[in-house]
Chains A and B, each alone.
Chain A
């Protein structure tokens, strides 16, 4: 009897489900992430991956134009910068609601910045993006002023990032720094539903969202629900797309990306990621790379175009400076020495490195030997192998040392016994050059000490009056870095994203990694 009634119930359920018209069924998008970050509170954690879902959970005071990086209004309708560049006054939009129903106002901006600055919260990124920030002053419910100890033009870029997205202070206080990551509350087009580390993160559309900034082209959000899952093994990503498990997935290996792109059900989006390109930094404190002529020779010995084509396929361009070409601040009149092995040989010869009978160069009995420290991620090892072959061809001995993890890379750099070290950094404001190319910078792995370069980079991030002034200063910096041959730039980073054509309208923020989920919709 029991069995029968159960079967009947099941049958009714099935028929019911089959009769429900399609357009009433909730729409779900499955989005694949390629890293499972440890900690996803954007105010405290630093991962770029967390921004893929959370950029759509939070709104920011300002936003960046996806194409140009121009700063546009969002939660702040307009703003003024004081003549001394030390006070930014924001006039806030009215009628904005957090996902928990509370109203967004000026006090919430101050509360968010307090949360980031609390030393017990150990913020790993947001706090550093605020530079010389001193305090927030609530002038009235709709007006807030941020006071700085010195001018800091990158501030607006920072305030446009998810790391300084506006969270509900009630939720921040209720959950505290350890648990808030599981209960995030913003004002964005999608609201945070659930996060199970290493498993999934779920968002649902925010039906009240009526304060979309002008970067969005459509009347979203369209999906009722977006589920993010983590695909850390590159070998399985194409499979996940092909078996229909995900609709959008990034960091697809080049060959797989091209194969999927050729299929009618998928579209490939090569997304340029701004920042410092994949590059190798010369150690200017240790022979033989302390000699600029040797550094120039090593740059000329490398056919960068062939390396990029071999390792990354046709979607990546060769990098020509300390900034990637798709970001503002890139100097398009600066290019690094082209492939010229004869000139490389000549330079080494003139610098005293004489070719021996065994095909190896040496000077005063010391062999021309290079140690390359390479990260084990982002195709650095493959590129290092090709670089080693190129340098061996001009008579150097090359040893490659692989660093699995950023901590070990830093450790190798602290030891100082390397000739080159591979790295890339992401970011949208050219001020990201400062920690690396100034003499006191935390990442000055080149051991560069050039007062002129220090001055240019510091001026560009403090007293420079306008964006065009800053642009000119960063062009000066790029020339100095090129002229002193401090780096070997390899490739501007491109994220190969493949989307199932079931989803349409895929576009990305200026930052590159982050999709504009608001505009994403079912159907082509």
Chain B
């Protein structure tokens, strides 16, 4: 985490230019006035000094203030966290449901038409870029809604359905692949032969048998994907005109509002760590082999 914020601190200053220039982008200030603003914001001290000041703030639990609004970074981020969390969770549900369905269809129906179709769909979902998914989903929904106005509310930016679909579809493809390959590897496993020999007919029960050992992998994949979904909201939020951390991140980088970007990077580092822990814990719950022996 320390590495992440340190990297963010220096990389931003190298990559995004002088924040004073961005602050004064409406162009009226004189040179003297620009320097006065730099001094009053504490941006005139050497970079290492600014860095130490930033670390000192962190140890006191302070993330600093936005250069643009003087609002605390914590308050700025907190105001945008709720919508992103809701969107990421909804996207995760879409990814889980669609991914599971496609994965089972592809993994158990083999070379039948259904299996082939599911497999291709999963491949398509993984390969299409997020920005395109968003616009396609929005366009398709708007076209449908023009025919049947009942659907109109779904296309509004307040509705969570379309953004969640757009966000979840990309992850669902990858999840489907994980499940498909797991199921195919398992199909010749001795315990499944044994189950069949015991008289379990091909069908839901047999699928459940085959799926059990695949689930831990799928769950850790999804948990890790949860972290990535938070990143995926950058595009989704912009296209669907929704508030959230993704929008906040992009705009803060573009205008050089460094304290806010640093806060977001720190938050991302925390979230990734937590999702890894969650992935391990969940896998252990589902798979007895991973539980510590007592």
Contacts and interface: CB of A to CB of B under 8 A. Distances in A.
A55 to B, nearest CB: 16
Nearest to B71: A178
Contacts of A39: 66, 68-69
A242 B30 contact: no
A236 interface: yes
Given A119-B36, A232-B241, A245 B155 contact: yes
B70 A127 contact: no
Given A46-B25, A243-B156, A411-B18, A405 B36 contact: no
Interface magnitude class on chain A: 35 or more
B34 A442 contact: yes
B16 A407 contact: yes
Nearest to A377: B254
A122 B135 CA distance: 39
Contact of A199 (B16, B83, B145): B83
A232 B23 CA distance: 20
Interface in B33-58: 33-34, 36-37, 40-41
B242 A199 contact: yes
A38 B66 CA distance: 9
Given A197-B80, A197-B243, A129 B28 contact: yes
Contacts, number: 161
A38 B70 contact: no
Interface stretch (A341-349, A353-361, A432-440): A432-440
Contact of B28 (A122, A178, A409, A435): A435
B182 interface: no
A120 interface: yes
A432 B27 contact: yes
Of A36, A127, A442, chain B has the most CB atoms within 10 Å of the CB of A442
Contacts of B67: 122
B193 interface: no
Interface magnitude class on chain B: 35 or more
Of A177, A235, A243, A426, chain B has the most CB atoms within 10 Å of the CB of A243
Interface in B241-291: 241-244, 247-248, 251-257
Contacts of A177: 70
B243 A198 contact: yes
Contacts of A178: 65, 69-72
Contact of A197 (B34, B79, B138, B156): B79
A232 B55 CA distance: 34
A432 B24 CA distance: 13
Given A39-B69, A46-B25, A442-B34, A229 B251 contact: no
B139 interface: yes
Interface string A286-313: 0000000000000000000000000000
A93 interface: no
A81 interface: no
Given A119-B40, A128-B28, A177-B70, A198 B22 contact: no
B28 A432 contact: yes
Contact of B25 (A243, A406, A436): A406
A239 B144 CA distance: 13
A120 B40 CA distance: 7
B29 interface: yes
Contact of B152 (A41, A244, A443): A244
B23 A233 contact: no
B219 interface: no
B93 interface: no
Interface string A226-241: 0001111101100110
A121 interface: yes
A242 B239 contact: no
A244 to B, nearest CB: 7
B17 A38 contact: no
Contacts of A442: 24, 27, 29-31, 34
Nearest to B254: A405
B241 A243 contact: no
A19 interface: no
A124 B252 contact: no
Interface in A99-156: 119-122, 124-125, 127-129
A200 B34 CA distance: 32
Interface in A163-216: 177-179, 181, 196-199
Given A122-B41, A408-B16, 14 more contacts: A38-B69, A38-B251, A46-B25, A124-B37, A125-B28, A181-B69, A230-B241, A235-B135, A236-B135, A239-B142, A239-B155, A405-B17, A427-B27, A436-B27
Interface of A: 36, 38-39, 41, 44-46, 48, 119-122, 124-125, 127-129, 177-179, 181, 196-199, 229-233, 235-236, 239-240, 242-245, 404-411, 425-427, 432, 435-436, 440-443
- 8 shortest interchain CB distances as A-B pairs: A407-B17, A410-B21, A198-B243, A199-B243, A406-B25, A39-B69, A128-B28, A411-B17
29 contacts: A38-B68, A38-B69, A38-B251, A39-B69, A46-B24, A119-B40, A121-B70, A124-B26, A125-B26, A128-B28, A177-B70, A181-B69, A197-B80, A198-B242, A198-B248, A199-B242, A199-B243, A229-B241, A230-B241, A240-B157, A243-B142, A243-B146, A405-B255, A405-B256, A410-B18, A425-B26, A440-B30, A442-B30, A442-B31
